Amino acid sequence: MDIYQAVLRPIVFSGLKSDPEFLHQQFMQILTWLDCNADRPLNSWIPNQLEKNLSIADARLEQTLWDHPNQTGVGSEDSTPTSQSSIIIPQSVVFKNPMGLAAGFDKNGTASGMWSNFGFGYAELGTVTLKPQPGNPTPRLFRLLADRAALNRMGFNNDGAATMASALTAALQRRPRSMPVGINLGKSKVTPLEEAAADYLGSFRLLKDLGDYFVVNVSSPNTPGLRTLQDAPMLSAILSALQQENQKANKPILVKIAPDLEWDAILDVLDVTLHYNLAGIIATNTTISREGLKTEILRETGNLVKDEAGGISGLPLKERSTEVIRFIRKETKGKLPIMGVGGIFTSDDAWEKITAGACLLQTYTGWIYQGPFMVKRILQGLLAKLEETGLSNISEAVGIDVD
């Protein structure tokens, strides 16, 4: 156990009883300042030390996604792409390792240059909306310590797509990007559901040259009505608009789904995803289920957890997200890349999701609980599992328990 888990986490989680969102904001301010002032000697020393202690470079962990059209179902019997999307072959992206930072941590992309120093192979920024919005009333982020989980009802609080575009442009002017960056797109709360396609399109137009891949987030439980956009007709309208705009940029576009969908609903999403030649699926977002939670009362409000709005992330999500990954892998026969997220704390958790069908992984809550050395420990564990199984690259392990 490292110093974070032994000393710092107990102080931060229990001793200080500080608002988790406040602590997150302070951490982001420090990283943003370091990122914006990396040209100063002392400031460059700190990221270099982080990278030295927290990163692993090993060719066996590297993957290139979207370097072959058949990965996304193009030309397969299962896909009937529209004429507007049939010419889109997503640009290939090289990931030095499969561990990524999930959306929700760096909402405005202000620390995009820092995440590789923590050992991540990529980072997903956002969720960003076309219009700036404050999100839901506070408090809106809670720790469920007994469950190794978090409950959040943030509500896509962010400074808007134009502000993120400015931040990412400035970051690229300071220094080249050292790892892939994804951008997670959400719907502005004030935008009516019937105008959602235009809202997503507006954000994509502002950011399409600044992200290595993009995610259509229609699965957060914290924006009223948003999950209805997972229904095939509404999702089709959004994806059609984005892929029409994407014909020249050829950016990989993925869709992020909820873990609470029934199997038939997931099949509908997969049909639409293949029809519009999307680059993959992110499985999954937070869950609205409260089943099996050990925490009954939310200390900050005094209310029953089952009566509190918001999505649960962390360990309670692990099994369901893996089930969804396995289902998608089986149904698409491996033609659709999957990013797996939900309840990853250890290398065993990561290996389980990879062998179920996830080629890439994302963490947020697990990283908060386990600390900054978590990514390195997981990657070391994955390398050990490759040696145990006689595999030469992590890509060879993707879906082996399903295939």
**Which positions are annotated as active-site residues?**
220
DSSP state of 301: T
| 276 is an annotated ligand-binding site residue | no
| 156 is an annotated ligand-binding site residue | yes
C-beta separation of 150 from 312 below 8 A: yes
Cα distance between residue 123 and residue 109, in whole Å: 10
| 82 is an annotated ligand-binding site residue | no
Cα distance between residue 189 and residue 192, in whole Å: 8
C-beta separation of 141 from 185 below 8 A: no
| 303 is an annotated ligand-binding site residue | no
Cα distance between residue 364 and residue 227, in whole Å: 21
Lateral strand order in the sheet of 141-144: 141-144, 149-152, 311-314
| 152 is an annotated ligand-binding site residue | yes
Cα distance between residue 6 and residue 351, in whole Å: 25
C-beta separation of 144 from 295 below 8 A: yes
Q: Which of 279, 281, 287, 166 is nearest to 222 (CA)?
A: 287
| 184 is an annotated ligand-binding site residue | yes
| 155 is an annotated ligand-binding site residue | yes
| 285 is an annotated ligand-binding site residue | yes
| 211 is an annotated ligand-binding site residue | no
| 277 is an annotated ligand-binding site residue | no
Pairing outcome for strands 122-128 and 141-144: unpaired
Question: What residues does 378 pair with on adjacent strands?
Answer: none
| 138 is an annotated ligand-binding site residue | no
Reply yes or no: is the peptide bond before residue 332 cis, omega within 30 of 0. Answer: no
| 364 is an annotated ligand-binding site residue | yes
Cα distance between residue 384 and residue 117, in whole Å: 22
| 365 is an annotated ligand-binding site residue | yes
DSSP state of 137: P
| 153 is an annotated ligand-binding site residue | yes
Beta-carbon contacts of 280 under 8 Å, excluding residues fewer than 6 positions away, are 65, 72, 252, 254, 336, 337, 338, 339
| 154 is an annotated ligand-binding site residue | yes
Cα distance between residue 396 and residue 403, in whole Å: 11
Cα distance between residue 40 and residue 46, in whole Å: 10
Q: Which of 130, 292, 85 is nearest to 223 (CA)?
A: 130
Q: Rounded to 5 degrees, what are φ and ψ at 361?
A: -130, 155
| 136 is an annotated ligand-binding site residue | no
DSSP state of 368: H
Cα distance between residue 28 and residue 22, in whole Å: 10
Cα distance between residue 249 and residue 396, in whole Å: 30
The binding site for FMN comprises 103-107, 127, 184, 217, 256, 284, 314, 343, 364-365
The binding site for substrate comprises 107, 152-156, 217, 222, 285-286
The binding site comprises 103-107, 127, 152-156, 184, 217, 222, 256, 284-286, 314, 343, 364-365
